[in-house]
Amino acid sequence: MRFRIYRYNPETDKEPYMKDYQLDNVSSDMMLLDALLLLKEKDPGLGFRRSCREGVCGSDGMNINGTNGLACITRLSDLKEPVELRPMPRLPVIRDLIVDMEQFYKQYRDVKPYLDVKDPLPEVELKQTPEERDQLDGLYECIMCGCCTTACPSFWWNPDKFLGPAALLQAARFLGDSRDQATDERLQALDDPFKLFRCHTIMNCVQVCPKGLNPTKAIGDIKKMMVKKSL
Amino acid sequence: MNIEDIPRRRFDALIIGAGGGGLRAALQLAEADASVAVVSKVFPTRSHTVAAQGGMNAALANVLPDNWHWHMFDTVKGSDYLGDQDAIEYMCRAAPKAVYEMEHFGVPFSRLDNGKIYQRPFGGQSQNFGGEQAARTCAAADRTGHAILHSLYQQNIRAKTHFFDEYFAVDLLKDEQGNILGAYVFDIHSGEELIIEAKTTLLATGGAGQLFRTTTNALINTGDGMGMALRAGMPLQDMEFFQFHPTGIAGRGMLITEGARGEGGYLVNAKGERFMERYAPSAKDLASRDVVSRSIYTEVKEGRGCGPEKDHVLLKLDHLPEDVLQSRLPGIRQTCITFLGIDPADQPIPVYPTAHYTMGGVPTNRHGQVVIPVKDTPEEPVTGLYAAGECACVSVHGANRLGGNSLLDILVFGRSAANHIIEYLKENRFHKVIDEKVIKQAYNRLHRWDTNSGDESVDDIRHELQKVMEENCGVFRTQDVLNNGVEEVSKLAERLKNASITDQSELFNTARVEALELENLMDVALATVYSAAARTESRGAHSRVDFTERDDKGWMRHTLYTSEERKLDYKPVRTKPMSVDSFPPKPRVY
């Protein structure tokens, strides 16, 4: 199987280039990460992040034949040759497929992604009905891989002002939690021409999310909450 | 960079590792206004806690009657009487509070109709000291580890904990008296080195599942903290006890949670027989993990395995209502679809025992203090050094960990270690002076990879090590096989000295990180095979074909392995709990 992989080590390379690789004996049940690990044994300088190998840690987000995804849960047999691998778009490249995700993490921190309960806490659990808990499904499972945000044109244009789909999904996760008591502050903090409203429902985020989540819907729900609040 | 020019930073507490144990401790310390640095070789939410599925145990009695004392009994029995009963009592008593805290931190636990936290049955759980099955495992669907790790990271954002993300810890630093005073680390992004001076250091680096070829563990689980502790002269305790999870996806290793059986799934062999009924007539598929793993292994060995190679058994979930699968087990359902192309709602899952959990580790007491033998004292605390979670051995899991007790362990002992650190800091306000020789040793260990021109490859040695460990230190063991393991691992350790790497870049050099990881893994492998070859009995996960019985007279004691001369020592099990009567050893029947 043939691969073309983006290579760039600022220490030794003047500029980025695409390097061709060939891998023999590819079996039908192999994932892209399995192939990358084998290629790295031949070319140890090839840089990429990886850890869990099963799509829960979010380390190995990359651009695969033009679409963001996780290498560990992308089946080789589903990919057209040569498989072209690039770092996730719009973030600074540290080396090869490894990007500097600080901007992405900052957006996450900016939405205050933690439960805020103002009442005194009981000595047991806060109660939540199964229906209230169901509201968090599709929101809490995010693994922060960055696939959605770096696939979003609004993020490409305004990476420092628009919060991006991943951070906004987190905002929705806490706005949607029946236990959280900071709804007004959260909505107020998002009421800005850029942070939230630069989402133009292009829906790249939904298309690429490896966990099947829907940030666009979450953003829509936040907008609805804002409208309701202003009435 | 010259060794004199390496920058130094000072903190009250250094935490190495940002999984659940490290983050729980960090939060406690940050809230107590201690200056705390968390060093992690991956961004915190990539830590392997994220992969825990089934849940955490606590006697909340939300579903069935329960109390902490029953939980304690099950844990002692599950440990095959090798667990320390004071630590187990402490953990089981603290469990409900640990769960409520996590709930208050935002963990989206699944819920019962009355609004309380959902609890599911798990292996080895009973009511009333060995009676009916209990339901003690608090779950967020089958993504409990993810929910806990992310919530803890979020709370640390609130508490403004100082993170050194993607920094690799090379070695512990100490003074001439042996006080631990921080660590020598480097920034993986830039390659820049840094000396972190800390009054206290907590190891929370997780397990060493990468010892084995087929494992549920992430590629980062290379026993780094254990390796660092060994090199600093600490022993590792009970390393012969390695848990093989009964239900990894056959041949691939992805974990299928015990919760799948807790929700009503069961195992069948090629004849379609529910074989666990023969091995564990009362608990059946929810017997302890060591018992279920041995049963699967035996079924396959005796020719009743499934598939063309007869090399696995099947986990059936297709009789469960689809909404149970979707609401309680959505993660493993997706994993099966992704990796096997089968939906467990329609077809059974091929499973086989898979390396999963390091019961052994750096010996600690229940305050997380690392304790070592000094003269006649078997457990003398090492000033400044703490350990918690899978890298530690406190020992609450003894010879076999119960499902659901691992997330509990990291949260309870992450917290208790932090509380002890807070007390220590009140009495010890000043930094001690690090021995420059120790800094030099760490520097040399790191920079040996810049100059080495040996012709061995890191990848080759790692592959061979994983194969040797799988073949010589697996579910069933004999003296010959274990001796062979000692010999083979020793040879590989020699070869590692002649390994080199071709990538000499400073920027995000993953080849260098993998070389350093392999050094840690090798030290842990030696500890494991040496400890295993010496223990001539069967207890928990250490199952000897040539010594099939548990020998309480000769072997109800903890193993201590030290790197210097690869020496073994032993210390007694702490059979006296904190307040209740001791559970004396009994035959272990499920």
Evaluate whether residue B29 is within a structural domain: yes
Match 């047991």 to its residue by tokens: A124
Question: Is some CB atom of chain A closer than 8 A to the CB atom of B501?
Answer: yes
Question: Is some CB atom of chain B closer than 8 A to the CB atom of A119?
Answer: no
Residue B256: give its domain's CATH number. 3.90.700.10
Which residues on chain A are in Cβ contact (under 8 Å) with B189? 94, 100
What is the DSSP track for B317-349?
Answer: -TTS-HHHHHHH-HHHHHHHHHHHS--TTTSPE
User: Quick one: A110 and A59 in the same domain?
Assistant: no
Give the pLDDT score at B530. 98
User: Quick one: A183 and A111 in the same domain?
Assistant: yes
Kindly determine whether residue A12 and residue B150, on different chains, have CB atoms separated by under 8 Å: no
Question: Is some CB atom of chain A closer than 8 A to the CB atom of B459?
Answer: yes
User: Quick one: B332 and B373 in the same domain?
Assistant: no
Contact B141, B332 (CB under 8 A): no
Closest CA to A205 of A187, A183, A220: A220
Number of folded domains in chain A? 2
Give the pLDDT score at B339. 96
User: Quick one: B96 and B216 in the same domain?
Assistant: yes
Closest CA to B193 of B43, B6, B429: B6
- Which of A43, A65, A99 is where one domain is finished? A99
Q: What is the spatial distance between Cα B120 and Cα B139, in angstroms, rounded to a whole number? A: 7
Residue B466: give its domain's CATH number. 1.20.58.100
- Which of A99, A134, A153 is where one domain is finished? A99
User: Quick one: B263 and B350 in the same domain?
Assistant: yes
Evaluate whether residue B74 is within a structural domain: no
User: Quick one: B455 and B331 in the same domain?
Assistant: no
User: Quick one: B167 and B178 in the same domain?
Assistant: yes
Mutate to test the interface with A, among B219, B255, B460 (most CBs of A within 10 A): B219
Q: In tens digits, what is the pLDDT along chain B, a chain of 590 residues?
A: 789 899 999 999 999 999 999 999 999 999 999 999 999 999 999 999 999 999 999 999 999 999 999 999 999 999 999 999 999 999 999 999 999 999 999 999 999 999 999 999 999 999 999 999 999 999 999 999 999 999 999 999 999 999 999 999 999 999 999 999 999 999 999 999 999 999 999 999 999 999 999 999 999 999 999 999 999 999 999 999 999 999 999 999 999 999 999 999 999 999 999 999 999 999 999 999 999 999 999 999 999 999 999 999 999 999 999 999 999 999 999 999 999 999 999 999 999 999 999 999 999 999 999 999 998 899 999 999 999 999 999 999 999 999 999 999 999 999 999 999 999 999 999 999 999 999 999 999 999 999 867 899 999 999 999 999 999 999 999 999 999 999 999 999 999 999 999 999 999 999 999 999 999 999 999 999 999 999 999 999 999 999 999 999 999 999 999 999 999 999 999 999 999 999 999 999 99
- Which of B379, B411, B436 is where one domain is finished? B436
User: Quick one: A133 and A65 in the same domain?
Assistant: no
User: Quick one: A135 and A77 in the same domain?
Assistant: no
Contact B544, B478 (CB under 8 A): yes
Closest CA to B130 of B57, B73, B59, B60: B73
Q: How many helices (DSSP H) and strands (DSSP E) are in chain A? A: 8, 7
User: Quick one: A78 and A112 in the same domain?
Assistant: no
Give the pLDDT score at B17. 98
Q: What is the spatial distance between Cα B581 and Cα B256, in angstroms, rounded to a whole number? A: 36
Write out the residue range of the structural domain in which residue A46 sits: 2-99
Kindly determine whether residue B335 and residue A117, on different chains, have CB atoms separated by under 8 Å: no
User: Quick one: A17 and A73 in the same domain?
Assistant: yes
Mutate to test the interface with A, among B45, B187, B460, B516 (most CBs of A within 10 A): B45
Which residues on chain B are in Cβ contact (under 8 Å) with A140? 108, 140, 147, 150
Give the pLDDT score at A108. 98
Match 């070789």 to its residue by tokens: B41
Tens digits of per-residue pLDDT, B168-213? 999 999 999 999 999 999 999 999 999 999 999 999 999 999 999 9
Residue A52: give its domain's CATH number. 3.10.20.30
Match 């693994």 to its residue by tokens: A143
Closest CA to B554 of B568, B572, B527: B572
User: Quick one: A115 and A220 in the same domain?
Assistant: yes
User: Quick one: A199 and A167 in the same domain?
Assistant: yes
User: Quick one: B185 and B307 in the same domain?
Assistant: no
Q: List all residues of chain A from 35 to 54 with a beta carbon under 8 Å from chain B.
A: 40-41, 44-45, 47-54
Kindly determine whether residue B158 and residue A112, on different chains, have CB atoms separated by under 8 Å: yes
- Torsion angle of the four alpha carbons B40, B41, B42, B43, in this order, in degrees rounded to the nearest 10: 40
Kindly determine whether residue A140 and residue B108, on different chains, have CB atoms separated by under 8 Å: yes
User: Quick one: A110 and A52 in the same domain?
Assistant: no
Write out the residue range of the structural domain in which residue B349 sits: 244-354
Whether the per-residue pLDDT at A110 is higher than 90: the answer is yes
User: Quick one: A225 and A117 in the same domain?
Assistant: yes
User: Quick one: A132 and A217 in the same domain?
Assistant: yes
Give this prediction's pTM.
Answer: 0.98
What is the DSSP track for B466-517?
Answer: HHHHHHHSSSEE-HHHHHHHHHHHHHHHHHHTTEE-S---STT-HHHHHHHH
Question: Is some CB atom of chain B closer than 8 A to the CB atom of A161?
Answer: no
Contact B150, B158 (CB under 8 A): no
Kindly determine whether residue A126 and residue B104, on different chains, have CB atoms separated by under 8 Å: yes
Evaluate whether residue B277 is within a structural domain: yes
User: Quick one: B169 and B211 in the same domain?
Assistant: yes
From the candidates B120, B289, B512, B535, give the one annotated as an active-site residue: B289
Give the pLDDT score at A230. 86
- Which of A67, A99, A131 is where one domain is finished? A99
Number of folded domains in chain B? 3
Kindly determine whether residue B105 and residue A57, on different chains, have CB atoms separated by under 8 Å: no
- What's the rounded mean pLDDT across residues A194-221? 97
Contact B21, B98 (CB under 8 A): no
User: Quick one: B269 and B298 in the same domain?
Assistant: yes
CA diameter of chain B: 69
Kindly determine whether residue A136 and residue B103, on different chains, have CB atoms separated by under 8 Å: no
> Which residues on adjacent β-strands are paired with residue B306?
B312
User: Quick one: A63 and A106 in the same domain?
Assistant: no
Q: What is the spatial distance between Cα B275 and Cα B262, in angstroms, rounded to a whole number? A: 17
Contact A221, A172 (CB under 8 A): yes
User: Quick one: B379 and B484 in the same domain?
Assistant: no
User: Quick one: B432 and B349 in the same domain?
Assistant: no
Contact B361, B331 (CB under 8 A): no
Residue B28: give its domain's CATH number. 3.50.50.60
User: Quick one: B317 and B455 in the same domain?
Assistant: no
User: Quick one: B375 and B430 in the same domain?
Assistant: yes
Burial group, residue A6, by CB count within 10 angstroms (0-12, 13-18, 19+): middle
Measure B547 CA to nearest chain A CA, in Å: 36
Give the pLDDT score at B101. 98
Closest CA to B358 of B404, B399, B407: B399
Give the pLDDT score at A28. 84
Which residues on chain A are in Cβ contact (under 8 Å) with B140? 140
Evaluate whether residue B496 is within a structural domain: yes
Phi, psi of B270 (to 5 degrees): -60, -25
What CA–CA distances, in Å, run from A188 to A161, A193, A195, A225, A226? 16, 12, 11, 11, 8
Q: Is B289 a catalytic residue?
A: yes
Give the pLDDT score at B1. 73
Residue A157: give its domain's CATH number. 1.10.1060.10
Question: Is some CB atom of chain B closer than 8 A to the CB atom of A171?
Answer: no
Residue B179 corresponds to which tokens in the numbers above? Answer: 């006080």
Length of chain B as a residue count: 590
Give the pLDDT score at A62. 98
